[in-house]
Amino acid sequence: MTTDKHRIVIVGGGTAGISVAARLLRKGHSDVAVIEPSDTHYYQPLWTLVGGGQAKASTTARPEASVMPKGATWIKNAAATVDPDDNTVTCADGAVYEYDVLVVSPGIQLDWNRTEGLQDALGKDGVSSNYRFDLAPRTWEFIRGLRSGSAVFGMPSGPIKCAGAPQKIAYLASDYWRRQGVLSDIDVHLVVPTPRLFGIPAIADNLDAIAADYGITVHTNAEITSVDAAAHKVGVTHTGDGGSDTMLNFDVLHAVPRQSAPEWIKASPLSTGDPNGYVEIDKHSMQHVRYPNVFSLGDAGSSPNSKTGAAIRKQAPVVVENIESLLAGRPLSASYNGYGSCPIVTSSHAMLLAEFDYDLNLTPSFPLLDPTKPHRSYWYLKKYGLPFMYWNLMLRGLA
């Protein structure tokens, strides 16, 4: 098999890969290749609103060709192995691509099979998940159809993309049921593996109040470990000390899978070597700790920030600047501070925008609004402002 050579090879044509490719091309780098097998590019943050009946799934998908930056070489293939000692990536069909600099941004793997019974239950018997394009509309069908009974919303342990999404849908569903006048007939449970609903106390306090206002029973230090769709029961395992395992009945279940790096990354020398297997990078420079000409950003990187599109927006310029320094033989000077943003929709008209850095310091973009409380203006930002910015600015290397 012949080997193709590109100056910069980017694995993944999602948010991270396209943002970096667009920025590199704007800066005059002409030989940029993007390895991406998919025909469709998704704006996943809106899937929460799809599941909550507030957006149409079709608005979240566009042809991959429409977001591929002009001037990039699109390798329509899936990466299968990487050999950083040889500076090559091999694709699923055996084609080999050599690089001077590699950017690894293939996204995250949804491990549905790591929760017993979940994979087979999806899409029927009231079981759904906003983490899949085809299932988000089913979530809304199940929520809309429930008039009494019980609903369970779960969040898994370990890093996941958009860590707020598992609880956002609980609030959106509860808000809908309240507006329909049936919330008092529905027993709502929210199961989270963390000690509190959020890692920043001021925000956790407000989310506690929101959950209490809806009458949601919050199970902390706990996660759903099995789904028995036929019996309409989930097994809940306590992750903290002294808690006991329990079963919860459900008529509607919104499940979120555990997540990890794609298998080919886990098996590669780029991996951290732990079970999640993310690309082992310096959390500030985004450069691989052992292979200087390899960078990673987005959900597949090992940096301990929240895995969100907002994090990628701050990571992409750092990666591009540091690639330029590397190619010019200069020390790497750009640094990422761990900025992440977790937009938590709390009702059909309000949203809390949690923005923070590695040290969990609040870093609000709109200092006039209290960043620990929900606001109506943030909801409009979520539904209209952020998608516009994503398609028109971020993917074009302009934001």
Q: Which residues contact 181 (CB under 8 A, 6 or more apart)?
A: none
pLDDT in tens, 70-129: 999 999 999 999 999 999 999 999 999 999 999 999 999 999 999 999 999 999 999 999
* Average confidence score pLDDT of the chain: 96
Q: Is the pLDDT of residue 203 over 70?
A: yes
pLDDT in tens, 361-395: 999 998 889 999 999 999 999 999 999 999 999 99
Give residue 2's pLDDT band: very low, low, confident or very high (50, 70, 90).
Answer: low
Q: What pairs with residue 271 in β-bridges?
A: 279
pLDDT in tens, 7-26: 999 999 999 999 999 999 99
Choose the catalytic residue: 160, 162, 218, 354. Answer: 162
Task: Tell me what percent of the residues of the chain surpass a pLDDT of 90.
Answer: 96
Question: What is the Cα–Cα distance from 146 to 173, expressed in whole angstroms?
Answer: 10
Q: What pairs with residue 300 in β-bridges?
A: none
Question: What is the Cα–Cα distance from 278 to 28, expressed in whole angstroms?
Answer: 30
Does the active-site annotation cover 342?
Answer: yes
pLDDT in tens, 337-349: 999 999 999 999 9
At residue 241, the pLDDT reads 75
Distances 332 to 146, 247, 314 between C-alpha atoms, Å: 55, 52, 16
Choose the catalytic residue: 316, 342, 381, 395. Answer: 342
Q: What are phi and psi of 26, to 5 degrees?
A: -65, -30
At residue 64, the pLDDT reads 98
